[in-house]
Amino acid sequence: MSVFYVLTVWYALLYVVVEGYTELRCRDSAVDALLAQDGMRDALRLFRNATFHYQQEPISPKMMRFLEMDDGADWARKLNSALKAFFEGALDIRG
């Protein structure tokens, strides 16, 4: 169960990074292509909301929407990698 909680926080925080990326008007073809994939970004946003805001159900429908998406986990890994590559280059850091 603890692995699920770690994954839950990682998904939610991944969207927090997406919010910053968007607010700063960053541009990267790999990140932008992933964020443009149909419904993924919004489902991740709802997942973040369900994680960080009170929900009556421990695993709410908002969370399930993302968890039940085809390739959601793979998409999140690819987005994480693309954001990592972008910020390492933009900030001249190596992880």
Is the CB of residue 60 less than 8 Å from the CB of residue 19? no
pLDDT at 95: 60
Along the chain (95 residues), what's the average pLDDT of each consecutive run of 10 residues? 90 97 97 97 96 87 93 97 95 77
Residue 69 CA neighbour count, 13 Å, CB half: 22
pLDDT at 1: 67
Cα(first)–Cα(last) distance of the chain, in Å? 28
pTM of the model: 0.89
User: Which among 9, 24, 14, 7 has a CA at the least distance from the CA of 80?
Assistant: 14
